[in-house]
Structure 1
Amino acid sequence: MSAPAVFHVTADGLEIEVQFFSPEIVRILKYPAGNAVEKRSFAVVMQPEPCRFALKEAEGRWLLTGDALQLEIAQADGRVRFLTPEGGLLLAEKEAGTVFTPECYAGERTSRVRQAFRLDGGEAIYGLGQHQTGRMNQRGQRLLLSQINMEIAIPFFLSLKGYGVYWDNASPTVFTDSARETAFDSELGECADYYFLGGGSGDRVVANMRRLTGKAPMPPLWTLGYCQSKERYASQYELVAAVEKYRELGVPLDCIIQDWQYWGNTPELWNSMEFLNPAFPAPEKAVERIHELNAHVLISVWPDFGTETVPYREMKERNFLLGFGANMSRNGRNYDAWNPDARELFWKLLERHLCKAGVDGWWLDASEPEQPFPYTQNMWPTPDVFDTPTSAGSLRRVRNSYPLVHVEGVARRQKAADASKRVTILTRSAFAGQQRTGAFCWSGDVDSSWQALRAQIPAGLNLSMCGIPYWNTDIGGFFADREFRGGVAEPGFRELYVRWMQFGMFTPMMRSHGTFSPREIWQFGKRGDWAFDAIEACIRFRYRLLPYLYSTAWEVAKLDGSFLRPAALDDPALAGVGDEFRFGRALLVAPVVEPMYVKEGVTDFSRTGSRRVKLPAGKWFDFHTEEPVAGEVERPAPIDLVPLYVKAGSILPLGPEVQFSTEKPWDDLELRIYPGADGEFILYEDAFDGYGYEHGEHSEIRFRWNDAARTLTVEDRCGSYPGMLEQRRFRVRPVGGTEQAVTYGGEALAVMF
């Protein structure tokens, strides 16, 4: 028989609603019988599609069969099991797994809510946001999911069995996994509300998470170049001089970032959102000069304000301030980003001085928001802070969604105000759905240490598996003085920085930043010095990868793909491997995350360092030697080399040597073919900024490699945009073979080898 899209029953004192949002996405809602529930989701934007399912009753259960999933609901207790269309078990709720515990917070009667599941013993799961544990597989641990510096809380996990679970609750939540259960336990909630996302593969589950919570837009091309920052440029002259020095050296650069205190250096003037510091007397001229040098400027903005600032006064007058702020603003306060009128005022304040100065984007720092107390995995905030009222309820109710509403408030208003340039935001925290803002998250104020470098790889991969594709780290780590008190003067720090740079060039944003030691390339010596040369090689290779990077961004935006992927999505045998990763469709990166050449301050390049790499099943090529490899390999890793592998069947486009991302058109591209399998690649192009692409102003050129025939087919170009190249040259070379150059004018052609 047919049933409506929503199936509603009562069992064991619980109201249970099942709603198919799509054949692969199902919402489960449970709450005590007789209660009325009005639930707001900050993350979910998908509207349910018309779906039909068959309903049967048999042997004490209801069986709902859709096109891609089956659900069993026990009539005795309402326990739900999720199965494949063939009846294979994917996930089951635990017996008595839905628990409501009455609570009273600040006079509000509500409940603590818990939902427990049973997973297979050897089942690997990823996600839960970004954490610094160094673990790839998230089984067997207890995590506090609450936004803090370096920790991003997203109550979602993806299983290598080909499904995901999003627990739709924005209050602080404890995730626990043990041999007995896998559970989300939230401080506050009137209902248990979660989404089961099928798909059969990790990539499909990530795509469904984007369907549920929002698609990611295209970034501007320049954000995929190199970004230089430090804590902090003390004057506008120092800021401009840094860009001029890069141009003088001929080292590519696309962005410079101005960190805090351009407003002054007293807590009372904290985050005034205007240039009150005398060292910045003419910010418009400084930004204009940087633009003349073909670079861009991001500027740091916080969500809290010192007590003597105009934003503090205007926010306070309209009752838009919360009852707490960060330590650095002393008695300052965060604004209530859940209030749409407060978000509007925040944007108007940005427009008043910073947009006027011509900056190109925002560094929305401390977007957790930062709070005035220690807050770690082992320490909860004081209850009175969690009881802070907001326009959306108590802070306890909505805590984890702050970065989403804050960042989205800026992103939406900037796009509405000026569609000529794409919104560019760098931010320290995130929540489910934040990919729809296009913001780049970064991993916070991590230490400059080898342990921290190792931890960044699983941190970024797990965040990516939550559907958030744009991520980066402070290259070199933020706090240099904790292990390297001499900073850049120490050979040990230079080795760490070079290896971090080699990792950073394979993240969606390549950005150097940190404190207690400068980070510009000339701080590491001059050409001919090992550290300078290794850093420059990374930056130059990043720019050669721009056609690949920009096309990967299009795959993210159009097809819900990912920049960063665990190798286990291709080979489950690598489920626990957290020190290597896939970067787009073609590449596998195995960064060096252990010191090899510097010991007790002595640099020794006479020995040959190496690292072991576990390749996913199939045929691969060593990028540097172009030799075919497979399985587990021991790869020499001198200081100027990062182990890098290319999947057989890949078509890798490499662009020209440039000083900035748009210096030269892509009219003469190298196409490297890695034989051993059929393959394809879509070269995507548009105006590289603005939103014309959303209205069809873009082009795609599809390349297909037939391995048996050893033929590359370049198909007819699809689409167009103002300023598009009408004719170009492709230099095609199968690795180990001879290059052929062809002229392409938009019509299909074939290149045979």
Structure 2
Amino acid sequence: MVLELTIHSTMRQSIGNVLQGACFLLLFLISCLVSQASRLIKTDMAGNYWRLTTDQGTVFLRPYTNSAVEVCFSSDGSLPSDSSYAVNFRPLPVNTMTEVVRGGILFMAEEMHILVMENPFSLTFIYKGDTILRDAGGFSVKPGLSSVSFALTPDEQIYGAGERAIPLNRRGYELPLYNKPNYGYGMGVTSLNYSIPLVISSKKYALLWDNPQNGSVDIGKTDKDILTWSAIGGTARYFIMAADDYPGLMETYTTLTGRQSLPPRWALGNLQSRMAYRTQAETDSIMNLMLNNDFPVDAVILDFYWFGDSIKGYVGNLNWYRKNWPEPEKMIADFKKKGIKTILITEPYVIDSLKNYRDGLEHNIFVTDSLGKPYLDTNFYFGHGSLIDIFKPEARDWFWKHYQRQIEKGIAGWWGDLGEPESHPSDIYHVIGKADEVHGIYGHFWDRMVFEKYARYYPRTRLFHLQRSGYAGSQRYSAYPWTGDVGRSWSGLKAQLPVLLSMSMNGLGYIHSDAGGFALGVKDDDLYTRWLQFAAFTPIMRPHGSGIPSEPVYFSEETQKIVHDFMKLRYSLMPYNYTLAWQNTVKGYPLMRPLYYSYP
């Protein structure tokens, strides 16, 4: 039996009698004995790392900026690799000093100092003279588990960790780090399509757990004063950064993980969508109805019926279903003359009955089983099919040729759906690892593929790519995330505030919702009106839903008037919104900001 206990340095609990004191001392001693890194043996330099050798492994410290530090653990003493999927920034030259202090060593990297205590080994982070964070037992690495723990102070609030339909302060929750859709969700759901291993403290520091493998973050649920990141394996590494205020913190975080390019200006208008426009004639008729009633439309978004006549059996076709769309080139050109861009949906699966499936087999684009054979997912909702292995260069090239064919027809933007991936059994193998090891970065690599191909073939085009899932840093690949299949309910609308604000503070500036609600529910003029009013003040305005028309022209005259006025108001705010977009590109500031951002 292995006993692991953690006593953290912020504990300020009085011991009322000798027995309690004895127990406290015993637990403390046990903690020192079993801690992953319990005693410092020596310190030296290894390249631009401070190397801290302990009796249980090696901790490496590396300043990235004057207020951001990388910390990682190695059980065998080897230098960590630079294969971060979140951080794409090279460390800046930082003035560093060390000073021997009583019981340890103080490492100084301009504004950020790290106090390293020798016995028991521990790290304390100090920003401009103020202690902002202490570890609580540090790293723990063993087969099937990589983790690191920190001490929280009593009044500290913790924000972030991606899409969560819960209060902004996530303290008291344990949150899975596994992208997963939740159909028809409302307030109270802790797991959604887009997990980001980043939290932000009310003490104005941020922690990025730089590990995409299946895991969780326990923010004071098991122990109210302990925050623990964990994953099933992978690199044990985190970045800590601090600033004087939240704008400065966002600037530092996006310096490390990248910033989003400016959007095409039309993306800040009304993007009209539904599940789904079924034919060319229907789509043309609805867009004309919108324009004739003086509703602005900057883009129309076509769901899965552009490549088939059924929700099942056609995913991965990626060619126009000419029976219902006889002249897509003419339709796209006619819409363009009216100021309407055309956007198409794609999914990273191919159904096995399609011609593209046979072609995909020939080009070795699919994920495999343990024997290296193509993995056929018989539980995929849209039909038996295989997932494209987005990590294979040949798969990305195959996928891209289908994009490029439509771009040459005039398609102006893209909608990537099911990119968690939605169906991703654990026994799938990718070229770079098993499903649970790479699940968190699948959408991230999809974003990267589209971004890099556009940069190569269409460098003068500003990319617009709607994406339901991704990872820390996906903003640098021009990802425009939305909040998944939210329920058409007041609870669904309420959930959008914490989800959008959390994602905004996690670097994804263009987060937005299916305005009006997507799933279930009934036609409700009041709910639709309030949701569209709300959407007018979010980064992207995109009415969308299933089963019920999402266009305002199909609602009451009163609803139409209100929505019309708010759409027009949004357009009048274009200079303001474009300025926010510029700030996001230049500084990393979110477009949508929680109150604590400006009023901490």
Query: 1 CA distance for matches of 2:104 and 2:376?
Result: 50
Which secondary structure does the structure 2 equivalent of 1:262 belong to?
helix
Query: 2 CA distance for matches of 1:280 and 1:460?
Result: 35
The one-letter code matched in structure 2 to 1:7 is W
Residue equivalent to 1:567:
595
Which secondary structure does the structure 1 equivalent of 2:411 belong to?
coil
Query: 2 CA distance for matches of 1:404 and 1:241?
Result: 36
Tell whether the 8 Å contact from 1:469 to 1:562 is kept in structure 2 after alignment.
Answer: yes
Residue equivalent to 2:117:
74
Correspondence 1:127 to 2:168: no
The one-letter code matched in structure 1 to 2:141 is F
The one-letter code matched in structure 2 to 1:503 is F
Measure how far apart 1:200 and its partner are: 2.1
Give the TM-score of the pair, scaled to structure 1.
0.69
Residue equivalent to 2:150:
117
Residue equivalent to 1:364:
416
**How many positions carry a matched residue from both structures?**
535
Measure how far apart 1:324 and its partner are: 5.6
The one-letter code matched in structure 1 to 2:160 is G
Correspondence 1:176 to 2:208: no
Tell whether the 8 Å contact from 1:98 to 1:113 is kept in structure 2 after alignment.
Answer: yes
Which secondary structure does the structure 2 equivalent of 1:261 belong to?
helix
Q: Which has the larger displacement, 209-218 or 143-152?
A: 143-152
Aligned counterpart in structure 1 of residue 473 of structure 2, from 410, 430, 433:
433
Cα deviation, 1:406-448, whole Å, max 9, x if unaligned, reads: 1110121023212332111111112111111122100000101
Aligned counterpart in structure 2 of residue 47 of structure 1, from 67, 80, 90:
90
Cα deviation, 1:84-130, whole Å, max 9, x if unaligned, reads: 232x2101110x23112323xxxxxxxx1011111111111211011
Correspondence 1:237 to 2:281: yes
The one-letter code matched in structure 1 to 2:174 is R
Tell whether the 8 Å contact from 2:309 to 2:321 is kept in structure 1 after alignment.
Answer: no
Which secondary structure does the structure 2 equivalent of 1:305 belong to?
strand
Residue equivalent to 2:197:
155
Query: 2 CA distance for matches of 1:408 and 1:152?
Result: 16
Judged with a 3 Å threshold, the aligned counterparts in structure 2 of structure 1 residues 563 and 50 are, in CA distance, closer, same or farther, namely: same
Aligned counterpart in structure 2 of residue 140 of structure 1, from 146, 155, 172:
172
Tell whether the 8 Å contact from 2:177 to 2:216 is kept in structure 1 after alignment.
Answer: yes
Correspondence 1:29 to 2:72: yes
Measure how far apart 1:186 and its partner are: 0.6
Q: Within 5 Å, give how 1:603-752 maps onto structure 2.
A: none
Residue equivalent to 1:547:
575
Residue equivalent to 1:501:
532
Query: 1 CA distance for matches of 2:385 and 2:172?
Result: 40
The one-letter code matched in structure 1 to 2:586 is K
Tell whether the 8 Å contact from 1:12 to 1:78 is kept in structure 2 after alignment.
Answer: no
Q: Within 5 Å, give how 1:560-599 maps onto structure 2.
A: 560-572=588-600
Correspondence 1:395 to 2:431: no
Query: 2 CA distance for matches of 1:555 and 1:35?
Result: 40
Please give the root-mean-square deviation of Cα atoms over the aligned residues, in Å: 1.8
Measure how far apart 1:199 and its partner are: 1.4
Residue equivalent to 1:311:
356
Which secondary structure does the structure 2 equivalent of 1:511 belong to?
coil
Correspondence 1:335 to 2:388: yes
Aligned counterpart in structure 1 of residue 140 of structure 2, from 91, 99, 107:
99
Aligned counterpart in structure 2 of residue 200 of structure 1, from 241, 244, 248:
244
Judged with a 3 Å threshold, the aligned counterparts in structure 2 of structure 1 residues 25 and 560 are, in CA distance, closer, same or farther, namely: same
Query: 1 CA distance for matches of 2:333 and 2:353?
Result: 29
Give the TM-score of the pair, scaled to structure 2.
0.86
Unaligned runs of 5+ in 2: 1-43, 182-191, 368-374
Tell whether the 8 Å contact from 1:71 to 1:80 is kept in structure 2 after alignment.
Answer: yes
The one-letter code matched in structure 2 to 1:537 is D
Tell whether the 8 Å contact from 2:447 to 2:478 is kept in structure 1 after alignment.
Answer: no
Aligned counterpart in structure 2 of residue 211 of structure 1, from 255, 273, 281:
255
Measure how far apart 1:15 and its partner are: 0.6
Which secondary structure does the structure 1 equivalent of 2:98 belong to?
strand
Tell whether the 8 Å contact from 1:188 to 1:396 is kept in structure 2 after alignment.
Answer: no
The alignment-based identity, stated in percent, is 27
The one-letter code matched in structure 1 to 2:229 is F
Measure how far apart 1:38 and its partner are: 4.0
Q: Which has the larger displacement, 33-42 or 559-568?
A: 33-42
Residue equivalent to 1:483:
521
Measure how far apart 1:65 and its partner are: 1.3
Which secondary structure does the structure 1 equivalent of 2:287 belong to?
helix
Query: 1 CA distance for matches of 2:211 and 2:359?
Result: 32
Which secondary structure does the structure 1 equivalent of 2:451 belong to?
helix
Query: 2 CA distance for matches of 1:277 and 1:91?
Result: 60
Query: 2 CA distance for matches of 1:76 and 1:313?
Result: 62
The one-letter code matched in structure 1 to 2:529 is V
Tell whether the 8 Å contact from 2:143 to 2:233 is kept in structure 1 after alignment.
Answer: no
Residue equivalent to 1:255:
299
Query: 2 CA distance for matches of 1:362 and 1:248?
Result: 26
Measure how far apart 1:36 and its partner are: 6.5
Tell whether the 8 Å contact from 1:171 to 1:398 is kept in structure 2 after alignment.
Answer: yes
The one-letter code matched in structure 2 to 1:494 is D
Residue equivalent to 2:551:
520
Measure how far apart 1:37 and its partner are: 4.9
Tell whether the 8 Å contact from 2:466 to 2:479 is kept in structure 1 after alignment.
Answer: yes
Correspondence 1:538 to 2:575: no
Query: 2 CA distance for matches of 1:212 and 1:387?
Result: 33
| More relative contact order, 1 or 2 (CA 8 Å, 6+ apart) | 2
Which secondary structure does the structure 1 equivalent of 2:149 belong to?
strand
The one-letter code matched in structure 2 to 1:241 is S
Query: 2 CA distance for matches of 1:28 and 1:506?
Result: 39
Which secondary structure does the structure 1 equivalent of 2:91 belong to?
coil
Measure how far apart 1:238 and its partner are: 1.2
Correspondence 1:404 to 2:475: no
Residue equivalent to 1:348:
401
Which secondary structure does the structure 2 equivalent of 1:565 belong to?
coil
Judged with a 3 Å threshold, the aligned counterparts in structure 2 of structure 1 residues 313 and 36 are, in CA distance, closer, same or farther, namely: farther
Measure how far apart 1:521 and its partner are: 1.4
Unaligned runs of 5+ in 1: 104-111, 373-384, 488-492, 573-753
Structure that is richer in helix per residue: 2
Measure how far apart 1:83 and its partner are: 0.6
Cα deviation, 1:432-487, whole Å, max 9, x if unaligned, reads: 111111221000001011111111111011111111111110011101xx332xx2
Aligned counterpart in structure 2 of residue 415 of structure 1, from 455, 459, 465:
455
Tell whether the 8 Å contact from 2:254 to 2:588 is kept in structure 1 after alignment.
Answer: yes
Q: Which has the larger displacement, 530-539 or 414-423?
A: 414-423
Tell whether the 8 Å contact from 1:215 to 1:557 is kept in structure 2 after alignment.
Answer: yes
The one-letter code matched in structure 2 to 1:187 is I
Structure that is richer in strand per residue: 1
Measure how far apart 1:40 and its partner are: 2.1
Tell whether the 8 Å contact from 1:442 to 1:474 is kept in structure 2 after alignment.
Answer: yes
Measure how far apart 1:364 and its partner are: 0.5
Tell whether the 8 Å contact from 1:159 to 1:202 is kept in structure 2 after alignment.
Answer: no
